[in-house]
């Protein structure tokens, strides 16, 4: 389920964790609302904030170390392959299906899978390779990635609010910068990450509501099973509510070949 902790992303993950806890420490060392609450004996908000930071770090490691849905071998994909019996259960369609074999790892790719040059594996329902987590986002960890973004955004917005409450007044710019330099640096980093996470979370929720992936959205013209579709047509779209329900609440792999040929029937 999990990859080697000391793989190529070790430095990225270490830097992320160190930066997270350094900024958290800065918020507690300066005269922010968190520190004021702690000094007054009201520990609810400080403890809740630290717990939320811890949850975000744990989710980060879970998403970055989790198997995103690697296609390991044709044997492991036997139950997901589009066999003749399944084909006979599907209403005839103008669409055609061509089984693809990856030219890199030589496995037979299920529909919506793509080979990642960085991970050197084909990934089911490939979304993208994220350098932030140094892992692919695919069928198995995509929902956890979205959950991580949501928790991370909550931590960042709360941290930005706490940083704002800790700035100390000074009569001149030089004195103000000397008094607030560390807090200013921390709040700048938090503000930049907040913008990035807002854009990421918004784009992923939008694509999830359409049952589309980042790869399909960006490379639609190069994907064989989408070339015949119109500009606004998505063969996997079953409506916003069904798409969201399937993404967040339905566990286990999906035979996308069946959903592709269903043509308006219930999602698989």
Residue 130 backbone zone (phi > 0: left; psi -120 to 50: alpha; other: beta): beta
Rounded Cα–Cα distance for residues 67 and 263 (Å) = 31
The full set of domain ranges for the chain reads 10-262
Look at 1-10, 57-66, 109-118, 181-190 and tell me which has the smallest mean pLDDT. 1-10
Distance CA 20, CA 3 (A): 22
CA gap 257, 239 in Å, rounded: 18
Q: Is the pLDDT of residue 76 over 60?
A: no
Catalytic residue among 116, 119, 122, 130: 130
105 is catalytic: no
How far is 161 from 165, CA to CA, in rounded Å?
6
Question: How many CA atoms within 13 Å lie on the side-chain side of 101?
Answer: 4
Please answer whether residues 55 and 62 qualify as being in contact, where contact means their C-beta atoms are separated by less than 8 angstroms.
Answer: no
* pLDDT value for 74: 56
Among the listed residues 8, 15, 236, 1, the one whose alpha carbon sits nearest the alpha carbon of residue 117 = 8
Going by C-alpha positions, the residue among 115, 134, 138, 116 that lies closest to residue 126 is 138
3-state SS track over 227-265: CCCCCCCCCCCCCHHHHHHHHHHCCCCCCHHHHHHHCCC
Instruction: Give the model's pLDDT for residue 171.
Output: 84
Poorest-pLDDT segment among 3-7, 84-88, 97-101, 120-124: 84-88
Res 79 pLDDT > 80? no
pTM of the model: 0.85
| Average pLDDT rounded to a whole number, residues 85-113 | 66
Q: Which residues contact 32 (CB under 8 A, 6 or more apart)?
A: 162, 163, 165, 166, 183
Provide the strand spans (E) within 51-132: 70-71, 100-101, 108-109, 114-116, 121-123, 128-130
pLDDT in tens, 159-187: 999 999 998 887 888 888 888 899 999 99
pLDDT at 97 over 90: no
Rounded mean pLDDT, 9-29 = 92
Question: Residue 217: its pLDDT value, please?
Answer: 92
More confident position, 172 or 23 = 23
Buried b / exposed e over 159-171, threshold 16 CB at 10 Å, is bbebbebbbeeee
CA distances for 147 relative to 56, 59, 183, 213, 257, angstroms? 9, 8, 28, 16, 27
């Amino acid at each position: 389920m999990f990859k080697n902790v000391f793989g190529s992303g070790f430095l990225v993950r270490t830097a992320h964790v160190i930066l997270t806890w350094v900024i958290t420490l800065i918020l507690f060392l300066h005269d922010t609302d968190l520190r004021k609450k702690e000094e007054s004996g009201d520990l609810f908000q400080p403890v809740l904030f630290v717990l939320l930071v811890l949850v975000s770090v744990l989710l980060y490691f879970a998403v970055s170390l989790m198997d995103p849905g690697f296609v390991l071998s044709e044997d492991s994909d036997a139950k997901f392959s589009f066999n003749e019996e399944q084909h006979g259960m599907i209403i005839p369609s103008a669409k055609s299906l061509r089984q693809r074999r990856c030219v890199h790892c030589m496995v037979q790719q299920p529909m919506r899978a793509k080979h990642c040059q960085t991970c050197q594996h084909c990934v089911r329902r490939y979304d993208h390779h994220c350098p932030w987590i140094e892992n692919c986002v695919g069928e198995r960890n995509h929902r956890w990635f979205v959950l991580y973004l949501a928790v991370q955004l909550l931590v960042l917005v709360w941290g930005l609010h706490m940083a704002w409450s800790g700035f100390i007044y000074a009569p001149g710019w030089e004195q103000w910068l000397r008094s607030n330099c560390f807090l200013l640096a921390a709040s700048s980093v938090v503000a930049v990450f907040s913008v990035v996470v807002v854009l990421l979370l918004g784009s992923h929720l939008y694509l999830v509501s359409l049952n589309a992936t980042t790869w399909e959205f960006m490379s639609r013209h190069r994907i064989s099973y989408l070339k015949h579709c119109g500009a606004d047509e998505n063969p996997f779209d079953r409506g916003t509510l069904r798409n969201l329900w399937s993404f967040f609440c339905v566990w286990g792999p999906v035979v996308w070949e069946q959903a592709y040929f269903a043509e308006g029937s219930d999602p698989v």
